[in-house]
Every structure is written in C-alpha cells, then in structure tokens.
Amino acid sequence: MVENNLSPASITSNLGTNFIGQRVIYYPSLTSTMEVAKQEAQLGAVDGTVVIAGEQTAGRGRIKRVWLSPKGSIALSIILYPSVVNLPSLIMLASLAVVHSIEAVTGLRSQIKWPNDILINGRKVCGILIESSVRGNTVDYAIIGIGVNVNLRLSDFPEILSTATSLSAELGRDVSRLRVIRQLLAEVERLYLALQAGGPIYEEWRDSLVTLGRRVQVKSGTTVYEGIAESVTRDGSLLLRHSNGKLSQIVAGDATLRA
C-alpha cells in the first residue's frame, strides 16, 4: 500500500505554488467537498483555498448525478475568483491539468471527452464539476471540483464496473494520492496563470478532445442529439453536425462516443 497521508501540511509543504493549495482544509470523511467549499467561498475564503476529503459520502456529479468517492480516491474542490470572461475556461484548464498530472505521476496517457470526462482506454478515471455564483458581470466565486479514481478496485463497485477505471487498475499497482494532488494543484495554478496571461488554453483543450471528428450521441436535458462532433466554441459548447447538414450548438450534455 502506497503512503496516503493527506494532512494539509503534507500537501502544502514545498508545494511551489503562489496561491492554489496554500490553504488546505482536510476532512477524512465528508458529504461533499463542494458543499464545504461553497460555505468557505461565501465566507470569503482566500483565493486558491482547497477542500479535500479522504472519502465522500454524498459526492456530487454533473447533472445531479451521484459521484462515488470511497477511500483511495481523490475528492477535492478549489475555490477561485476568476473574471467572468475566464469562467468558461475553468472547465478546460481543469481537464488539461488532470491529463498532465496523471501523465507526470504515472506515465499513463488519458484523454478528454467533451465536456470534461477524463478517460483512460475509453473508461472514465476522473470527473470534473464546476460550480459558480455569478451576478451580472461579477463572479462571486467559482469552485472546481475534481474526483479521480486513484486506488479503486473496480470489482468492489459493480455499478461503475463497465464504464470506469482507476489509476491502480490501469497500472496494476497503487499510486500515491499525495503525489497526484500536489501535481494537480501546481498544474491548475500554472494553467490558471497562463489563462490570465492570455495563453492558448482553449486551443489546447480543443486539440486534446477525443470527441472531435467522432460520431457521438449527446443527451442534453430531455433532448438526444446524434451527429459528428465538429468543433467546440470558446465558451465550451459542442458543435454537432447532423446527417441533414444542420449544425447544433450544445451548451451542456453527456456525450457517448459511437463506433
């Protein structure tokens, strides 16, 4: 078993960031890091505050789904105060940060499925949830929630067995959650600063999507779209070309890659 001391000191010590992860709030067990992060943000938590849970008992996924995060997984939320212009890019930079961090720590290559599922060999290894409070042109706060299946034995979770994977399942050995978390926080900060400096986050995200050029089915609310994923816009929407030539712009949804 790899060491798994997730104390705030073990995370922040020599992290090398300026603000992300300089304050860490850790709970061995928590309902959802999103809930605590929201409370902290409403109280004016310092930029880059991170809430981490050893396990979540009521983890939240996109589209009001449940997110499983038992012991051995990573569940964290990062509080940021971006400009309204940069808000749509958080999803992009978070996805890129996960892909870069997984590769740096494990050597595993992962891919991004629109909008923000991280896959290894076609199975989901990480989910990302962005929640924000916006009034007019003012962002009160934004929270990036990241859940990574690190040391999970998938056979213990039949409900996700056919669609999910974990870093340990891919590697055949356990992985240090601490190393992944530290890499992730450093990478989120690097990309966030690059975004603020006008760096090509959108372009890198677009070019990393496994979805583009593929036939996909997208569920968005009660509507199901089918077509070729042609491109993505700067605000993160998917442009889907139908067989009749029409183009749909889909702001949010769940994409399934077709053969």
Instruction: Give the residue with the Cβ less far from ligand BTN, 131 or 136.
Output: 131
Q: State the minimum distance, in angstroms, from the CB of residue 252 to ligand BTN.
A: 12
| Burial (Cβ within 10 Å: 0-12, 13-18, ≥19) of residue 102 | buried
For 228, the token pair is: 């070729």
Site string for ligand BTN, 4-33 (x = CB under 6 A): ----------------------------xx
Q: Which long-range contacts (CB under 8 A, 24 or more apart) does 224-230 make?
A: 225/250, 225/253, 226/258, 229/114, 229/255
Q: State the minimum distance, in angstroms, from the CB of residue 183 to ligand BTN.
A: 17
- Segment near ligand BTN (CB under 6 A); pick from 90-98, 125-133, 164-172, 218-226: 125-133
Tell me how far apart the terminal alpha carbons of the chain are, to the nearest angstrom.
38
Instruction: Choose, by CB under 6 A, the member of 115, 147, 227, 253 that binds ligand BTN.
Output: 147
Instruction: Choose, by CB under 6 A, the member of 2, 12, 22, 61 that binds ligand BTN.
Output: 61
Distance, CA of 93 to CA of 190 (rounded, Å): 9
Distance, CA of 210 to CA of 112 (rounded, Å): 6
Distance, CA of 177 to CA of 123 (rounded, Å): 20
Instruction: Give the residue with the Cβ less far from ligand BTN, 122 or 200.
Output: 122
Binding site for ligand BTN (CB under 6 A): 32-34, 56, 59-62, 65, 67, 69, 75-77, 117, 127-129, 145-147
